Amino acid sequence: MSESIRVVRRSFLVGLGIAAGGLALGSFARAEEPKTATPGAPKAATPGAPKGGGAASDGLRPNVFVHVAPDGLVTIVCARSEMGQGVRSTLPALVADELGADMARVKIAQADGDKAYGDQNTDGSRSVRMDFARLRRTGAAARMMLTAAAARRWKVPEATLAVRDHAVFHDATKRSLGFGELANDAAKVAVPKKEAIVLRPVAALKTIGKELPLVDGPDIVTGRAAFGADVRLPGMLTAVIARPPVVGGKVARHDPAKALAVNGVKRVVALPAPKPPFAFQPLGGLAVVAEDTWSAMRGRKLLEITWDHGDNAAYDSPSYRATLEASIRAKGRVVRELGDVDKALAGAKRTVESMYYAPNLVHAPMEPPVAVAKANATSCEVWASTQNPQSARTAVAKALGLDESQVTVHVTFLGGGFGRKSKPDYVVEAALLAREMGAPVRVQWTREDDLQHDYYHSVSAQRLVAGLDDAGKIVAWEHRTAFPPIASIFDGASFAAIGQLAQGVLEVPLAIPNLRAENCEARAHTRIGWLRSVANIYHAFAVQSFLDELAHARKMDPADHLLDVFGPPRTWTATDLGVSELPNYGQPLADYPIDTARHRRVLERITALSGWRGRAAHKRALGLAVHRSFLAYVAVVVSVVKDAIGTIRVDEAWIVADCGLVVNLERVRSQLEGAVVFGLSHALYGEITMKGGATEQSNFRDFRLMRLHEAPRRIHVEVIESDAPPSGVGEPGVPPVAPALTNALFALTGTRVRELPVVRALAV
């Protein structure tokens, strides 16, 4: 007889004797424990509206983000989702810095999904750039109210007081009062209006540009941190779902008998088939609900289903590629125009033309989607590893016919996201099944589910043409791009919205007098979604590869060539770019201009750092690319080598970023380093293919990721000091990686790689 032992991650790590002190050094703030579910999960915070600063006996609550208790404990709410980027280590520290709190006496609470917090969507590289001023004001408001309370008690002018180290000081008389001593009095002070809030000088903020501790590090490395799959509720059931292999398909017939015969299986539940446009609807299919995950998975394998594949069953990757390439050979919708491109091309001494192709990609986060829900006729409570709890709340309310006020969404830690977990289809699945079962239900996606039912990164084809005059100067540039747009899941669109086109097409600053960009039609046959850096990935690949081709056609060093096409340092208006409008990632051009001085700065720094000018003498094959995305400027150099048996591998990489004012330098470096690995992995191997409308890949055996031994032996990261406003960080490092790699491969082999993944073209 053998005994079955249930092993979970937490107990496994504890069994290894891993101690936080040996793996994560330093202390910072405390993460609050949960009200329910699993120990170690980020606590669900409920907004507390300030009542003239807060109730007198409850301490100071000037806004939904900050609470100062009478015992001096400061609670700071993090409204963004933590998925390894360190947002819970960065944003609360910024608030505490503005407040003057001691982080050793700060507790961090994770916010539920609620509009009271403003924007909570943790994608688009927006957390710091969108929250920098807003969160500083929340800390400053509390500081000003504590200062006013101390001034009243001491009967001194507020201007004579200073707030630091968790107390208010009157240095002239060497008096001080701790936050706790002032909390109830401060609660009686009127909350300052936005226009009256005084921020500290940026130079006085101790967090700016520092390497801040990772507050959740000890819990993560010891297994105490609770991710979506760790949530446990009394009486909870687990469901896995057999979803239609083709988007838009549905169950034609099924026999659940064998599945129901599996020990532990409770029911087989039919989920409603979605109607286009699909947006964030679940895909439908049959859910096997069981006492545990293993029983549910066994039951699902035994379901006998005949599928009606629907209208997308003819979707096939090779034929769709041919459709895209035919689309870009014809004229498209003009989205950017300067001068007279047709006349300039007709009069050019020489033309250079190339086509580029990039396949569908999948997110493949370490943790597949998972959500837990309990629901009845009048309410629903959810625990989910979601990047956008407000969107999840809205989707659940709509699916269950509830008001949003009747839905609560708690946010757990995320084991990666990359944009996948901004889409709440899996959360809705859990809510529907919980109501149907009358018990808490956890919907667990497997890796196969994750790869075969994702919101895929768009497949794309692009055509670029340049005209050169007698002197070799570029006088004309035409760029056509075709890809099924993200808008297709919302309204069936087959042309891209301006937001995706402003990611590497509309805003590229080229000192070329005649320039045109066109968007060509591409109809979607699967769900398309945003993935880390979105359309910048394939647009930067094409543009930066083509610029390298032009450098060689003009017999110029690629770095000198980039300096030439960027032109002299200047800021660009929409008119300069040849566009009628430019979304600019939701920020005004006045605050976040397109600045070729910053392009040049990262370019010049990366060439110095990588030894670019000495590459011939050192016999190094280096490739270079520069790209602006999410308001940050990034340059990448990749080195490739060929070993004794002829295998090509990536040897070394450099990345330089100008991302404006940096709060947490350690997390910025980490995200840029991760972007290099992410970008290389997709460029080398990333490809999702469709046959008969269904995804052919099912796991990491056929969707390959870069392995540890294939990663560069060193990744050099440099962050340029800047006093520009904070920009994005999580995504901008990715787009220049693929073209830097393929440009390096050309330097090594003389072969141009114009399609991804690279493994299709070269033995690497």
CATH number at residue 271: 3.30.365.10
Give the CA angle between residues 240, 241, 246 to the nearest 5°: 150
Note the pLDDT of residue 201: 97
Q: Which residue, of 192, 222, 252, is where some domain finishes?
A: 222
Same structural domain, 355 and 477: yes
Q: Within a domain: residue 144?
A: yes
Same structural domain, 439 and 468: no
Alpha helices in 455-567 (DSSP H): 488-491, 498-501, 536-553, 558-566
Same structural domain, 335 and 419: no
Q: Within a domain: residue 744?
A: yes
State how far the alpha carbon of 497 is from the alpha carbons of 278, 484, 487, in Å.
17, 11, 7
Q: How far is CA 123 from the centre of its chain?
A: 4
Q: Within a domain: residue 177?
A: yes
Q: Which residue, of 222, 248, 273, is where some domain finishes?
A: 222
Q: How far is CA 473 from the centre of its chain?
A: 39
Same structural domain, 432 and 470: no
Domain of 300, in residue numbers: 228-311+369-444
Q: Within a domain: residue 4?
A: no
Q: Within a domain: residue 85?
A: yes
CB atoms within 10 A of CB 273: 17
Report the domain count for the chain: 3
Q: Which residue, of 157, 187, 222, is where some domain finishes?
A: 222
Same structural domain, 432 and 482: no
Q: Within a domain: residue 450?
A: no
Same structural domain, 170 and 45: yes
Q: How far is CA 652 from the centre of its chain?
A: 25
Q: What is the DSSP string of 407-466?
A: EEEEE-B-S--TTGGGS-HHHHHHHHHHHHHTS-EEEE--HHHHHHS--BBPPEEEEEEE
Q: What is the DSSP string of 372-417?
A: EEEE-SS-EEEEE--S-HHHHHHHHHHHHT--GGGEEEEE-B-S--
Choose among 385, 380, 485: nearest CA to 426.
385
Note the pLDDT of residue 761: 76
CA distance 313 to 331: 28
For the chain (764 residues), the mean pLDDT of every run of 10, in chain order, is 48 47 41 44 59 68 98 98 96 98 98 98 96 97 98 98 98 98 98 98 95 95 95 98 98 98 98 96 98 98 98 97 98 98 98 98 98 98 98 98 98 97 98 98 98 98 98 98 98 97 98 98 98 98 98 98 97 96 95 98 98 97 98 98 91 98 97 98 98 98 95 98 96 98 97 95 67
Same structural domain, 609 and 654: yes
Note the pLDDT of residue 646: 85
Helix (H) or strand (E) holding 254: strand 250-255
Q: Within a domain: residue 344?
A: yes
Same structural domain, 341 and 429: no
Note the pLDDT of residue 514: 98
Same structural domain, 435 and 528: no
Q: Which two tokens stand for residue 578?
A: 């040849």
Same structural domain, 129 and 244: no
Q: Within a domain: residue 2?
A: no
Same structural domain, 118 and 15: yes
CA dihedral 538, 539, 542, 545 (to 10 degrees): -100
Same structural domain, 628 and 745: yes
Longest dimension (CA), the chain: 86
Note the pLDDT of residue 17: 44
Note the pLDDT of residue 414: 97
Per DSSP bridges, beta strands 571-572 and 594-595 are: antiparallel
